[in-house]
Amino acid sequence: MRQVVVRINKDDTYSCEGAELLDFTTKAQYHYTFWSKEKLHLYRMPHHFSVGALDLFFISLTVFYCDRIETRYLQPDAWTRSFKIYMPVLEKEKWDSSKRLLEQALSFLTGDSWTFCFRERSLCEQEIHANTGIDRYNKSNKLSSDLFCMLSGGLDSFIGASDLLSINQKPIFVGNYNGGKGVSIYQDKVIDLLTKQYHYDKDRFYQFYAAPIRGVEDTTRSRSFMFFSHAILMASTMKHKVKLVVPENGVISLNIPLTIHRAGSLSTRTTHPFWMSMLQQLITNLGLDVKLVNPYQFCTKGEMLLNCKDKRFVYDNIQWTMSCSHPDLGRYKGDNHPSHCGTCLPCTIRRAAILRTGIKDKSSYRDPKYTTGEGQNFLTSYKYGAHLYKRNQIDPELAVLKSGQLDSEHINDFVGVYKRGMDELIEFLNSL
C-alpha cells in the first residue's frame, strides 16, 4: 500500500511513518493553474468558494497525483493498486460521514483500493487571497450563470456546446488538460470556433492545466474526477442551483468491453452512470447545489451528430475536434502536429459515427487502415467482438449490467443505446 500525507497549509506539520509527502505549498511536485492570477477568473466569481468544493478540488488533485505516480504493471495482478491518503479538509465531519462513499466511488472509477484519513485544516493562503479578491473586484463585471458545461475539445463536448449556444443558452465552459499540448491546441481551436459562430463572450470559457511534475502511469482513470472538480468549484460560487452538463455519448459512457482485451478495469469509467451517481451523491452530501447532467446518455455518437441542432457548423468543423486520448504520440514518429491515432476505441467509435452521417471525414488519422501492429491488434479485437455479438454470444442486457450498477428504470434505454452503438461499429468495420 502506498501512503501519502497531503499538505495544503504551510503551518501543517502532520507526518506519518512510512508515508510520502505531497506538498501543495510548493511547486516542486504539482503544476496546476487554478489559482493563477493571469485571467482574473477567480475574482470574477460572484461569491466565495464553498468549503466543500475546495475540499473536493484538493482531494481530486491528490487522487490524480496517486493515479500518475504508481505504476500498474508492477502490481501483483499488473493492475490494482492500494492507496492510503492522509487528507486535510475544511469540513472533516462531512467527509467522515462520506468517507465510505468516496472510497467506493474511486474504487469503481479507477479499479484501485482507496483509504482516506481526514484531519482538520483552515483556509490556506491561496484560498484566502482568492476570497479577498472576489470581495474587492468590480461588482458590475461579475460572472453569473445557472449552467456550466464541460468542454474537453472532443467531438461530443463540441456538439454539446453548439447545441446549448444555438438555443441561446449562456453557460460557463470549463476545460482541463494535462500532459502534452495536443489537447490544448484542439481546445483553443474549438473555443475560437464557438465564439465566432455564436458571437459568444470568450471570457466565459476557462481552461485549466493540472498534472504532477513526475508521472509514470498513463492510464489516468481518475482524470474525470479532477476535471469535474474544477467546474464544481467554480459553480459553487454561484450560491444557487447550477446544472453541470457533461456531454458524452452513451456508448462511451457505458464503455462495455468488446472482448477480453478490454475487460474489467481496462475499460474506462470516466462518465459511467454509476460513477456519476456516486459523485452526485457526494456533491449533495457536501451541501453543494450542483446537478450533474448528461443529456446524451441514451444517444450513440452517430445519433449525436445526426440530431445536433446546428448541423452545418458542426459538420464543417469536425476535423478540429480531438477524440483520441493520445494525440501527441505521433510526434515520436516525426509528425509535426497532434492527430488521432485512428485505431483506438474512441477513434474507431468517432469514425463509425461520422460514417453514419454520410459526410466526408476530414480528420487526420495516423493509421486509418489499421496497418501497424497495434492497429491490426485493435482491428482483430473489434472484429472478434462484433462476430460474437452478431452470433448472439454477447447478451446485451448482461453486458450492460456487468459494466456497473445502473438505474433499473432505464435498463431498456441502456441496452438500446448499446445495441445501436454496436450496429454503428459493425457498419464501420464492414466498410474497411
pLDDT of residue 179: 59
Residue 119 is predicted with a pLDDT of: 98
Q: What are phi and psi of 280, to 5 degrees?
A: -60, -40
Beta bridge partners of 291: 243
For 321, the grid coordinates are: 475536434
What are the cell numbers at 178?
A: 494535462
Tell me how far apart the alpha carbons of residues 150 and 227 are, in angstroms, rounded to a whole number. Answer: 8
pLDDT at site 110:
95
Q: Phi first, then psi: give them for residue 360, nearest 5 degrees.
A: -75, 135
Q: What per-residue confidence (pLDDT) applies to 393?
A: 83
Alpha carbons within 13 angstroms on the beta-carbon side of residue 163 total 20
Give the residue carrying C-alpha cell 500500500. Answer: 1
Cβ within 8 Å of residue 12, ≥6 positions away: 88, 121
What pLDDT is stored for residue 258 in this prediction? 72
Q: Are strands 205-212 and 30-32 parallel, antiparallel or unpaired?
A: antiparallel
> Could you tell me the residue ranges of all domains in the chain?
298-431
Dihedral pair phi/psi, residue 54, rounded to 5°: -65, -45
What gap in Å lies between CA 164 and CA 148, rounded to an integer?
10
- Which helix H or strand E contains 37, and what residues bound it? none
Per-residue pLDDT of the chain (432 residues; tens, 9 = 90+): 999 999 999 999 999 999 999 999 999 999 999 998 655 778 999 999 999 999 999 999 999 999 999 999 999 999 999 999 999 999 999 999 999 999 999 999 999 999 999 999 999 999 999 999 999 988 888 999 999 999 999 999 999 999 999 999 999 999 988 755 567 889 999 999 999 999 999 999 999 999 999 889 988 899 999 999 999 999 999 999 999 999 999 999 998 877 644 444 445 789 999 999 999 999 999 999 999 999 999 999 999 999 999 999 999 999 999 999 777 766 656 666 788 999 999 999 999 999 999 999 999 999 999 999 999 999 999 999 999 999 988 899 999 998 899 999 999 999 999 999 999 999 999 999
pTM of the model: 0.95
The C-alpha atoms of residue 121 and residue 127 are separated, in whole angstroms, by: 12
